[in-house]
Amino acid sequence: MEWVEFSTALDTSVFDLGPITCVYISVFVSVCIFSHSIIINRNKKSKQRWDVVRASTEAAALATILSAAMVLALSKYPECLVLVAVGGDLLWNGLSMCVIQLCDSYIFFNRFKAVQKIPAWENRLIHAYIWLILILTWLPEYTFVPFFWDTNSLSFANFYNVTSPIYQWGVLTYNILFSGKFSWILWKNYSAIAKTNTSSSRRTRLVAIKSLVHCVTSSAASLISMNCGMIGVVLYPSIIVLSLHFIFNFKIESAVCSKKIRRNLCLDSVLKSSVVIVVTPKVQCTQASSIE
């Protein structure tokens, strides 16, 4: 079958002790995070049980486990061309890495929209950037291109040498862009926080700070994967999963925020204003505001 023959040749450095050890570490980290995410979200209301942060975290964790399983299978049967094509290219470098990249990219976008309104044209532009620059510059190599082009040929290597830098610089540019956006939000709201100290200002500051930390972490993970060989490639998913879970974890917010702020922090993807409903002679507040 041409697709199998034309798929990218296996990099045997993945079977060295260092990368394989990192694979087991990634599996352990991802299983722990996936389990913890389920546990801490099990008692949430049905409308809040599935939010962008949880979906991104658990999808990225499952993708990391899948990619690790494929690496371990390849380490036992490296001579099986079908496994190399299906497990190594399609499932590991293709599907798994695509899911992780999308979770990492869209969490920036989602957090930014939670605290800042954006025009429709910018919304469409960011979607286009994610798919054209961060996904389609590399995903076709591991999915449908081998059906008609030998990805081990010199001609494809020349093509890859063009698209690979576009992706690498595209990731860093995307992270830098949102780092700048969240830094601007922090600077713009700093005086308002100092003067009014409202829950809305504090919510905005909290989301911006956490998102900015994730921007830095994601950039560091990308640089590690680009410059540290197979160990960096294997570690990249687990770093992203750790960042998604612990930086945006609402339990972390509960630990660092005061009780007054926590009452204003419900987990949803859109920031809405609070609604006050009088149900008894005393006034009780039902919060509709949402961050994650």
Q: Measured between alpha carbons, how far is 193 from 174 in angstroms, rounded to an integer?
A: 28
Please give the average per-residue pLDDT across 100-124, as a whole number: 91
Q: Name the pLDDT band for 96 (thresholds 50, 70, 90).
A: very high
The rounded distance, in Å, linking the Cα atoms of 243 and 257 is: 19
Q: Which two tokens stand for residue 70?
A: 């494929």
* Distance set, CA 165 to CA 134, 162, 172, 200, 217 (Å): 11, 6, 11, 40, 20
Give Cα 183 distance to the centre of its chain: 20
* Structural domains of the chain, ranges and CATH numbers in brackets: 2-265 (1.20.1070)
267 pLDDT above the threshold of 70:
no
Is residue 132 pLDDT above 70, yes or no? yes
Confidence of residue 192 (pLDDT cuts 50, 70, 90): low
Give pLDDT, residue 246: 83
Nearest-angstrom CA–CA distance, 118 and 126: 11
- DSSP lists the bridge partners of residue 215 as none
The mean pLDDT value for 54-79 works out to: 92
Q: Identify the residue whose tokens are 């006050």.
A: 276
Mean pLDDT of 54-67: 94
| Least reliable range by pLDDT among 94-103, 156-165, 182-191, 249-258 | 249-258
What mean pLDDT is predicted for residues 258-270? 43
With cut-offs at 50, 70 and 90, classify the pLDDT of residue 28: very high
- Residue pLDDT, tens place only, 210-249: 888 999 999 999 999 999 888 999 999 999 999 998 887 7
CA–CA dist 52, 154 (Å, integer): 42
Residue showing tokens 């399983």: 69
Q: How confident is the model at residue 187 (pLDDT cuts 50, 70, 90)?
A: confident
DSSP state of 136: T
As a whole-number percent, the residues of the chain with pLDDT over 70 amount to 78
Kindly report each contact of residues 176-179 with a partner whose C-beta sits within 8 Å and lies 24 or more positions away, as own/partner: 176/215, 176/219, 178/108, 178/109, 178/112, 178/211, 178/215, 179/212, 179/215, 179/216, 179/219
Give the pLDDT mean for 184-192: 75
